[in-house]
Structure 1
């Protein structure tokens, strides 16, 4: 590992900025073998809000132009809205600065392809920030699948349900604009499901070969409020509130994926189930320390508490049975990414992995438009 601290630049200081900044702060306490880091520059547009966030997150400097930040940092975290993923990430890679970019990789397949190609040409790591790959229970599940505990994989089911847009008067945000976000629930939530399925079963069933798709928007416009809470205007919603898809894998395995941001009663319900010829398993983000496992000859599912010291990452935290939370996935992710940077090796999930997800999302959109199955290729 490098002895000189890696100077970290972060674009974005709201939800994801806070999550990743927290992870960077936790690294030396719980992962002492991680590369030393310096929270160097935080990038954003609002100078006052940016200064406040930098103080709270422990960044020494701020910048309102990401180009200025690239000259000062060793690693670049692109946590901005989807429409600012491509240009800064490509520029950083061309300058030899490693990049970790939030998902989905880009609003469009074309931009995602350009990012993939820039990463392939670069001599530094480029990572797509799919943090759920770093849940200990998910890593445990992947080990069971790779060891053949489930037998031949026949079916994969994934859902990601939230309810933050149930109220039709919920405020408009950039995530509801196709030009800024690319898609709605499909890209925001479905990207996680597609990547997690690829991670868990891709080595055994191959790539997704073809898809069907249905995208639905239930609320066509939403209000923009002023500082006093009064409605200034209504803006169009140009993305989906929910999607559903059927998928067919190269091996003949089948899958079904869905996501919604208007599913009343579901706060962050990301569930993935895998069914094989010898057994099944189910993971739920709302019980992220547990894995439901059905083994051959078993009469029912067993709940496995994945908190033993021998389980992935768990030895870095607390004694067995003392659970971890959602924020810990970002610590694991940064540990793996920054270690790859320090060791000058590839990181997974890569920009190529992010592009593979984007290709599926684009095919689902096309299937919805055509009302027919669509080849992912």
Structure 2
């Protein structure tokens, strides 16, 4: 048996997303037969002590305190970007120019202009066999991948209506401390880009259609927060600080918008980090002429399906997405043994490595992520113009 050639990875950032990506790089080749063998070659971070501790904990072979050193190394084939949005464009464009493949976390950038520059760099690199992908990992949730398959098969008929929510509550406490996610210069936007980007991408991907226009409302419920929070990870989880100096929140706490898709479907979107009791409720529902599908990530191994042909008394039925024929599932556990959040990142590695080995563009491409960025920008523009309709 021939040993697959290595795919040597250099990762920038090692907090929440860095941990998830590290787990995926380690796990994917142990459950899937990959055409390339991922190697955790180096991780980069600004603090030598912190990045060395992260490397030891997460299995990276070496460390750098300057991400540009990763680009200079001949023993690295791919750059995995797990840093705040304000750094994505610089790192990705430099990496592609250096001949490195790129995996970049979502949203692609903080502005459409940056995303356009990144997409142009990716297109130029692709002509030389160097590819870039954006990390919208919910595409790799088996239940959502099954939903896309069912829509493509025509099981729902003509889609009329889309309902999409992403509800969290980790910033509902007004004394939860400031983090980089509340600073527009670093994050680009708040709930809109952080979690709203996921439901925009997932809805468009499952439908196979793009959003063409929006009418939006953005709201910041807590205008200032205590300084001194976790500026690396999510921050705010279980920690409050009512006393001391406070910093200004410059992003939205909640985003709500209506949308129209090309070809006719309409949609309602909601993203908030202020929904008490909702921890990671990414919800999608698709209503068509022949049936409906509904999904909630808080019950992520289940897809609810209504088949109108069965008559009004049938109701929704639960599809437990743990069968070997369901997307990705056959490489894991026996039927009925569910998968979790981390598996989406593992499936992302599988799809990325498979595409790279075949010399094909992995999806979602930077061009796909740019389209999402344009939707986010249209939402902001509409909200600034008192919810006037804004084309994408």
Q: TM-score, normalised by structure 1?
A: 0.96
Does 1:81 pair with 2:96? Answer: no
The CA distance in 2 between the partners of 1:318 and 1:90, in whole Å, is 39
In the alignment, what sits opposite 2:14? 13
Is residue 14–residue 45 contact of structure 2 (8 Å, CA) maintained in 1? yes
- Alpha-carbon distance in 1 for matches of 2:290, 2:114: 41
**Who is 2:166 aligned against?**
160
- Structure 2 CA distance for aligned equivalents of residues 358 and 370 of structure 1: 18
The answer to whether structure 1 residue 327 and structure 2 residue 342 are counterparts is yes
- The match for 2:309 among 275, 290, 297 is 297
Alignment map for 1:126-165 (pairs within 5 Å): 126-165=132-171
Alpha-carbon distance, 1:104 to partner: 0.4
1:224 deviates by: 1.6
- Aligned equivalents of 2:3 and 2:162: distance in 1? 41
TM superposition shift of 1:373: 3.4
Match of residue 281, structure 1, among 293, 308, 323: 293
Deviation string, structure 1 residues 15-38 (Cα, Å, up to 9, x no partner):
000001001111221013342121
Counterpart of 1:133 in 2: which secondary structure?
Answer: helix
Aligned to 1:250: 262
- Output the CA distance in 2 between the equivalents of 1:57 and 1:77: 14
Structure 1 gap segments, 5+ residues each: none
Number of positions where the alignment pairs a residue of Structure 1 with one of Structure 2: 374
**Structure 2 residues not aligned, in runs of 5+:** 231-238
Q: Secondary structure at the match of 1:209?
A: strand
TM-superposed deviation, 1:297: 2.1
* Maintained 8 Å contact 1:215/1:243: yes
* Mapping 1:221-232, distance limit 5 Å: 221-225=224-228, 231-232=243-244
Could you tell me whether the CA contact under 8 Å between 2:291 and 2:306 is conserved in 1? yes
Q: Does the CA-based 8 Å contact 2:215-2:390 persist in structure 1?
A: no
> Which of 272, 276, 291 pairs up with 1:260?
272
State the secondary structure of the residue aligned to 2:335: coil
Instruction: Quote the Cα distance in structure 1 between the aligned partners of 2:229 and 2:319.
Output: 48
